[in-house]
Amino acid sequence: MIKKLLQRVFQPGKKKPAPRPSDSASLVNGHAKHIPYKVHRIDRDLINQSAIKTTEGLQKAGFEAYVVGGAVRDLLLKRRPKDFDVATNATPEEVNRIFRRSRIIGRRFRLVHVMFGSETVEVSTFRGSHLSESDDAKTAESGRILRDNVFGSQANDALRRDFTANALYYDPESEEVIDFHNGFSDIQKGILRMIGDPETRYREDPVRMLRAVRLSAKLGLKVEKHTETPIAKLANLLQDVPPSRLFDEMLKLFLSGHAQESVMALRQHGLHHGLLPLLDVVLEQPLGERFINLALKNTDERVLAEKPVSPSFLFATLLWHEVLSAWQKFQELGERPIPALHQAMNEVIDIQAEKLAIHKRYSSTMKEIWGMQPRFEQRAGKRPFGLFEHPRFRAAYDFLLLRCESGEVDKSLGEWWTKFSEANAAERAAMLQPSTEPKKRRRRQRKKPTQAQPL
Ligand code: ATP
Ligand code: MG
């Protein structure tokens, strides 16, 4: 009923007459500036073809459609966008009907994924104000928005985006950028500014604090004073954010290519303290600091060189020194080394999981990488060959090299494995150390009851 009413009010099927292109930025459509190509200079050829096909398809069907958000911001900053999102006044059902290969996704926000070959374009319907009386928007006592599915006009949609730089709409047809909040001028000045009252906006969605830090580090934008000030005071609101969302955001932060700067900025803003156990570990642990800095540097270099990075590897590095200290603790309690390591791994993962939902597929790879570390010490008999054949050898070996570089283990161990991986069969055989196998076999014959290992 409410949806029907909204649809009638906004009449999504009827396109407004296109504004007349002009050579300078002009004020039309309420407060929006229409910025022509001559001023913004976004090269249309840099827009992803699938995104263009999507806007064209929607516009042909009589709807408004724009490339929006991060992609427009990145193009203005002369950076290659990670993804191209489209915003429209068509409802998800209408978008779904226009594109044969599309599906509606999402619960909190209903979006449409439009598929072109292996590419997917995310299409969102203009969202309205969450402050409406409608049942489709819900706010918690802290001010946090819980559900937010009200459709609205383009101006409403712009108002509920986070930063002015993220509220720009590019029309590939007219090649205009539509700017409701002076985002274009803020980008020119190198400023990241919150739309509306920053404190209210952080209360609505505390993740915006993390986004401010991440985007400013990634894009080299300065967080504007009023946008920055409330962060220190409101940092503890991050505690209310669901762990899975925090994990996604942390992943973006660590894999942005600017992890080192982002982590430093988080510390500066007091956003790490007592909030995210992972970051507490990362930032307040002198022992592991060198190891973690090396890991972040390594990740940043790989991202910037467009090499693949594995979240499991990164999280394994971030938590390694926690595992080491728990490992020592369990051994001091009388546990044998390998079971003690497995207990330590489980304990560390469990503590993190409370706040940060590390997905099972990541945590099992992390455990494999950690669990393989003691096996690098064994350089006799068949064992090195078995380890070398392990599907995770490469990741575990890279991990070992970081441990060597940080000074935790002797460099000669990493060098031995580098030589072993590059050697031929005869050279490998010559490298092996004297075998200790017989002793182990004798011990196994004693038939001790096997202890259940918590892996
Ligand atoms: P990135 O380069 O990391 O993708 P982005 O700004 O594009 O950065 P997305 O998560 O892809 O980030 O979000 C796309 C757009 O959605 C943003 O540009 C912004 O307009 C809007 N947006 C995203 N998250 C929020 C939020 N928490 N509050 C308000 N608007 C948001
Ligand atoms: Mg994006």
Q: Report the nearest atom of ligand 1 relative to the CA of 256.
A: 3
Better-predicted residue by pLDDT, 211 or 434: 211
For the cut 50, the answer to whether the pLDDT of residue 129 exceeds it is: yes
Confidence at residue 334, expressed as pLDDT on a 0 to 100 scale: 96
For the cut 60, the answer to whether the pLDDT of residue 229 exceeds it is: yes
Ligand 1 site: residues with CB under 6 angstroms?
69-70, 82, 85, 161-162, 166-167, 205, 207-208, 211, 252
Q: Report the nearest atom of ligand 1 relative to the CA of 69.
A: 18
Q: Report how far residue 91's alpha carbon sits from residue 111's, in angstroms, rounded to the nearest whole number.
A: 9
Mean of pLDDT values over 387-414? 94
Ligand 1 pocket, mutate which of 146, 180, 211 (most atoms under 8 A from CB) = 211
Q: Report how far residue 183's alpha carbon sits from residue 168's, in angstroms, rounded to the nearest whole number.
A: 7
**Residue corresponding to tokens 């594109």:** 99
178 φ, ψ (degrees, to nearest 5) = -100, 125
Indicate the pLDDT class of residue 275, thresholds 50, 70 and 90: low
Q: How far is CA 296 from CA 246, 253, 266, 303, 408, in A?
A: 19, 11, 14, 10, 17
Helix axes 393-405, 360-372, angle to 10 degrees: 60
- Cβ–Cβ under 8 Å, residues 287 and 321: yes
Indicate the pLDDT class of residue 107, thresholds 50, 70 and 90: confident
Q: Which residues contact 255 (CB under 8 A, 6 or more apart)?
A: 299, 303, 309, 311, 314
CA of 53 to the centre of ligand 1 (A): 22
448, containing H or E segment: none
323 φ, ψ (degrees, to nearest 5) = -60, -45
Mean of pLDDT values over 325-345? 96
- pTM score, two decimals? 0.79
Identify the structural domains of the chain with CATH numbers, from first to last.
1-6+22-195 (3.30.460.10), 243-257+270-433 (1.10.3090.10)
* Of the candidates 188, 182, 166, 191, the residue with the CA atom closest to the CA atom of residue 69: 166
Question: For 281-311, b where at least 16 C-beta lie within 10 A, e where not — what string?
Answer: bbbeeeebeebbbbbbebbbebbeeeeebbb
Indicate the pLDDT class of residue 265, thresholds 50, 70 and 90: confident
Express each pLDDT in 308-331 by its tens digit.
Answer: 899 999 989 988 988 998 999 999
Query: CB within 5 A of ion ligand 2: which residues?
Result: 70, 83
Q: Report the nearest atom of ligand 1 relative to the CA of 167.
A: 20
Indicate the pLDDT class of residue 233, thresholds 50, 70 and 90: very high
Mean of pLDDT values over 384-390? 92
C-alpha 333: how far from its chain's center?
A: 38
Catalytic residues: 83, 85, 162
CA-closest residue to ligand 1 atom 26: 162
